[in-house]
Copies of this chain bind each other. A is one copy, B any other.
Amino acid sequence: MLEQINGGVTAPKGYKANGIHCGIRANKSKKDLALVVSEKRAAAAAVYTTNLVQGAPIAVCREHLADGYAQAMICNSGIANTCAQGGKEAAEAMCRLVEEHTGVSAADVIVASTGVIGQPLNVEPIKQGMPALVDGLSTDSTAAAEGIMTTDTHRKETAVVFTIGGKRCVIGGMAKGSGMIHPNMATMLVFLTTDCAITPAMLQKALSADIQDTFNMVSVDGDTSTNDMVSIMANGLAGNPVIDSEGADFDTFKAALRQLTTYLCRQIAGDGEGATKLLECRVAGAKDTDTAKRVAKAVICSSLTKSAMFGADANWGRVLCAIGYAGVPVNIAKTAVSFKSAAGEICVCQNGEGIPFSEEQAKKILLEDEIEIIIALQDGEGAASAWGCDLTYDYVKINGDYRT
């Protein structure tokens, strides 16, 4: 494990950030606008949702990142700027406002929005808020991490330290999760920064590979968002030799990225809408990695398994049921299931059949906040983990009347 430190997007050298309430959200105690600026133009990369319905900011980001560089990120919460008139114009206006107030070229701005789909985004509050947003830019990333939250109950940020060519590098990030979380080849909103020097091509390569095992293995509710995006800027201020090819340095960078994104995944899953528990499904012994991933994802997505975990009920039949409909070849007669947490580990199913176990001990294990569902398939070397959360009354409450 690499050293993990406090902070987020401003932990690497040369980044400042801020977040404010500008008036997009009615509740004045909720921040709704965040900005991250690098003092130097940075290599940049991103991955996007595969939903056919895409937020207007996504199209603008694609254009701005086509050359592999960016210098700032702006994100509002409250309105998703998706499926509403004037969406692209609003996203472009946000980038121009960043240029006017910071000097960063509009073409080097990563723009994102999150919130209600289908309502037009009024740029006026953002315009009014820009002076305060820019004045408050600092190396404290707290306000920015709060500015991108919707139904998240806490901000999600961290940073990881690594060394390339003798130089101390830092990679930091912040995420917004909570609902409509079921990434598919892309993910929710995540903004990453690093002071490591790396080419745009290698940065994109590292990010695209990483998300397959991290953000794409998270599901809160099975709904792939229209605005999912992970972006990263690398401004090179650490002074390391530029990473421009595969090799030991690239591997170190990827390891730091993986540690950061895995941490953010767990944060997103554990703070899923209404969640009381983080669930991690760990599959081993699958025929191949794809089989392991699909099994882990099916279990994490099963409403019945999620409800049972909420009730701390060791109803492993639902886990087996989900394995059975995952759509991949599994030998059920060789399958074992265990539950694990800080309170211990208990095997409840072997060779596809229930075995006697202490319901009392199982209950104790499942009452913890972080639960591992461990599946052994005894069919090969494929392994994967997926992260999710329990399904609770509060998920229904939050989503029964989200718009008001």
Contacts and interface: CB of A to CB of B under 8 A. Distances in A.
Interface of A: 50-54, 80, 82-85, 116-119, 179-180, 182, 184, 221-226, 301-304, 307-308, 310-311, 313, 315-318, 320-325, 329-330, 332, 349, 352-354, 391-393, 395-404
A243 to B, nearest CB: 34
A399 B226 contact: no
A279 to B, nearest CB: 14
A399 B308 contact: yes
| Chain multiplicity (copies) | 2
Contacts of A392: 396
A304 B393 contact: no
Contact of A313 (B54, B184, B329, B403): B403
Given A83-B349, A317-B117, A353-B83, A307 B391 contact: no
A150 B388 CA distance: 28
Contacts of A53: 320-321, 323-324, 332, 352
B323 A52 contact: yes
Given A393-B396, A396-B392, A222 B223 contact: no
Most buried by B among A85, A222, A304, A317: A317
A320 B222 contact: no
26 contacts: A52-B324, A52-B330, A53-B321, A53-B332, A53-B352, A54-B324, A83-B317, A83-B353, A117-B315, A117-B318, A119-B354, A180-B318, A182-B325, A221-B303, A221-B304, A223-B302, A224-B325, A226-B320, A226-B324, A304-B399, A307-B402, A311-B401, A315-B403, A393-B393, A393-B396, A393-B397
A377 B182 CA distance: 24
Contacts of A84: 353-354
A313 B403 CA distance: 8
A324 B221 CA distance: 16
